[in-house]
A and B are shown apart, each in its own frame.
Chain A
Amino acid sequence: MTLKVTLITGRTINQGATIENKTSSDYQEATAYCELNSKEAGSLGKPGSHVRVKTPHGDVVVKLKENNGNPDGIAFIPMGPWANAVVDPDTKGCGMPGFKGIPAEIEATGDRILLMKELIARYK
C-alpha cells in the first residue's frame, strides 16, 4: 500500500552528535529513517523495515520508525542527505528551499538503504 503524507525534515540530537562524522554508520543510523505514528507505520511494515519515500523531487529508501508524537499524515526524516534526496528545491523567492511541508508517498520496499557515498554518487 501507498501512504500519502506531508513530509517534514529537521534536527535531532543524534543527527547533531554525528554531524561531524558523516561517513560513519552512526550518522546513517541517526538520519536515514522516516518516523510515522505507530498506526500509520504499522500499515507499511514493522519498525526497522525499509520504506521508499517518494516526492515530485526524488525518492529515497530509509528505515521505518515509530513516533507517536506525529499526528496522522505527518512523516519526519532527520535533516541530512537522505532527507534532502526528496525535499523541494524551490526557494520561493527568499532563498530557502522547502525542507518542510512536502507532499510525499511512502511504501514498503525490500531495497537496501544507500550509503552516504552511494547516495551522493547518484548526483555525479
Chain B
Amino acid sequence: MSNVITDALCPFCGCMCDDITVVVENNKIIEAKHACKIGAAKIMGHHRIKAPMMRKDKNADFKEVSYDEAINEAARMLANSKRPLMYGWASVLCEVHKKGILLAEELGAIIDNTATVCHGPSTLAVHEKGLPTSTLGQIKNRADVVVFWGSNPVHAHPRHMGRYSVFAKGFFSEKGRRGRKIIVVDVRKTETAGMADEYIQVQQGSDYLVISALRAILAGQAAVVPDTVGGVPKEQLVKLVDTLKAARFGAIFFGMGLTQSMSRYKNIDNAISLTTELNSFGKHVIMPMRGHYNVTGFGQVCAWETGYATAVDFARGAPYYNPGETAANDVLTRKETDAAMIIAGDAGAHFPANSVRHLAKIPVVQIDPYWNPTTEVANVVIPVAICGVEVEGTAYRMDGVSLRYRKMIEPTHPTDLEILEKITKRVIEIRGE
C-alpha cells in the first residue's frame, strides 16, 4: 500500500525544512522529495542495530540480549555510578529530553547535549549580552544584507540559503538573491564564499580582533584601526561597515568558525555587541546556525526544567551549571565520569580522542538506532526508533520556533521515551533495594 505524506518535517539539521514529501510503501520510506542530500539520507535510513547487545569486556564481541536484560544492566550501571554523565540528545524530540532530565535528577548525574561541541559557547555569550535575533521568516521576508561568519551552509545547512536567507523571496524581498547582498567571512574560501558578493578572509583565530575593528570603525574610530587586522585590509573592513550601516535589515549567521576557534564564546559575545550597535542604523539580527534539528529543543527543555540550557550537574541534588567545569568534555578530561549514557549523539566520533579514551575505560550505555564509534566503546547497546521519522513529537528550529513532527512510518523498535521510562523505574527500584 502506498501512502504520500506532504509537508513533512526533515529531522536532520536546524533548518527543519517543512516541505518534504515522503512516499511510503508497506511501512518503508521509498522517497523523500525536496530533501537535501543529508536530509534524504536521514529520512531514508538504512540497516539498523536489530536487537539490544551487551558485553563485559569492551574488546569482546557483543551478545544479543532482550530489552529487559539490557535495561536492567543499564540501570544497574548508572545506579552504581558516583559521577554519571548523560550525553547526546540532539536527534531526539523534546518529550525525550524531559524524561532524560528526570533520570539525571534521580541519578545525580551530569546531563549535557551536543551543543557542548557545537553552540555551547554561543549560550555563554547570550548570558553575557542577550541575543538581538528574529525568526527565519523575518529574515526571509526582510533581510537585504546577510553575513555568514565562520559558517558554510552549502555543506552544513544545504537548503538554508534557498528557504530562508539568500535566494528565498518574501513580502519585502521579492527580488530574492538579486535584492540581497551576501557577505562571507571565513578562514578559507568555502563554496558558500564562492557564492557571496564579498568574501573576507580572516586569519585563523583572529575573528575577535576583526569584530573589534568593525566595532571601532562603526563607532567612528577608524583612525585607531591598523592597516591590517587579522589578515584583513582596513579598506575591506571600512567597506563592510558601510554595507552594514546602509542595510535596512541585516542578518548575521554564525557557525563553528566562531565557537570552536580561539576566544570561543568571546567571539560571539563580541559579534552580539556589534549587532546591537548596528541597530542604531537599521534593523540587525544575529543567529547561530544550529546543527542537529533538535539541539535547540534540548536547550529549551533543559532551561525550563532546570534553569540552565545544558551541562547541568545534579550531583548536589539541585541543578548546578558551569561549562568549563560541568560540560561533558570537562568531566571526561578530568577523568571524573565513572559511567556514561550516550543517547542520540555520538561522543565516540565527535569528542577528542582524549575523552573517548576515558569512555573506553568506564561502563557505557548507548541508546541509538545505529552502530557508530560510541558502540565500539559501549557495554550495553539499546537500539531505538528514530524520532521524527517513526516517532511524533516536538522540536525547536534554529530560530527557536517549535514545530510538531508527525510519524512517517510505524517503528520497528521501542522509542527512546519507553526505554528511559523503564531505566528510570529500574534505577529507583535498585536504589530502594
Contact = CB atoms under 8 A, between A and B. Distances in A.
Contacts of A90: 333
Contact of B41 (A17, A70, A85, A101): A17
Interface in B143-166: 152, 154-156, 158
Interface in B167-213: 187-191, 193-194, 201, 204-205
Interface stretch (B77-85, B323-331, B420-428): B323-331
A76 interface: yes
B117 A120 contact: no
Interface string B325-355: 0111110010000000000001011111111
Given A22-B371, A74-B188, A123-B356, A81 B349 contact: yes
B376 A84 contact: no
A49 interface: no
B254 to A, nearest CB: 13
Does more than half of chain A's interface fall in helix, strand or loop, or is it mixed? loop
B260 A100 contact: yes
B311 A95 contact: yes
Given A71-B187, A94-B323, A96-B117, A116 B373 contact: yes
Nearest to A80: B349
A100 B158 contact: no
Interface residues on A, range: 35 or more
A100 B360 CA distance: 24
A12 interface: yes
A22 B204 contact: no
Most chain B beta-carbon contacts within 10 A, residue among A10, A21, A94: A94
B158 A94 contact: no
A99 B150 CA distance: 13
B385 to A, nearest CB: 14
Most chain A beta-carbon contacts within 10 A, residue among B37, B353, B355, B371: B353
A99 B256 contact: yes
Nearest to B349: A81
Nearest to B322: A95
Most chain A beta-carbon contacts within 10 A, residue among B59, B257, B357: B357
A12 B352 contact: no
Interface in A68-87: 68-71, 74, 76, 79-81, 84-87
A117 B376 contact: yes
A22 B187 contact: no
Contacts of A70: 188-189
B261 interface: yes
A60 B164 CA distance: 39
B188 A89 contact: no
Interface residues of B, number: 71
Interface in A15-54: 16-23
Contacts of B188: 8, 67, 69-71, 74, 76
A95 B360 contact: no
A74 B204 contact: yes
Nearest to A14: B37
A67 B30 CA distance: 35
B327 A91 contact: yes
A57 to B, nearest CB: 7
Contact of A6 (B204, B324, B376): B204
B155 A96 contact: no
Contact of A98 (B40, B190, B260): B260
A91 B329 contact: yes
B58 interface: yes
Contact of B38 (A6, A16, A119): A16
B348 to A, nearest CB: 6
A14 B158 CA distance: 11
B398 interface: no
Q: Which 8 A-B pairs have the closest CB atoms?
A: A95-B327, A95-B323, A69-B189, A89-B354, A16-B38, A93-B324, A120-B376, A89-B352
26 contacts: A10-B152, A16-B37, A17-B37, A20-B369, A21-B370, A22-B371, A69-B191, A70-B189, A80-B350, A84-B349, A87-B352, A89-B329, A91-B324, A92-B324, A95-B324, A95-B330, A97-B117, A97-B355, A100-B260, A101-B260, A101-B261, A101-B262, A116-B376, A120-B373, A123-B356, A123-B357
Given A13-B158, A96-B327, A124-B377, 15 more contacts: A13-B37, A22-B372, A69-B193, A70-B189, A81-B348, A81-B373, A84-B352, A87-B352, A87-B353, A94-B124, A95-B311, A96-B117, A100-B260, A116-B376, A124-B360
Interface of A: 6, 8, 10-14, 16-23, 57-58, 67-71, 74, 76, 79-81, 84-101, 116-117, 119-121, 123-124
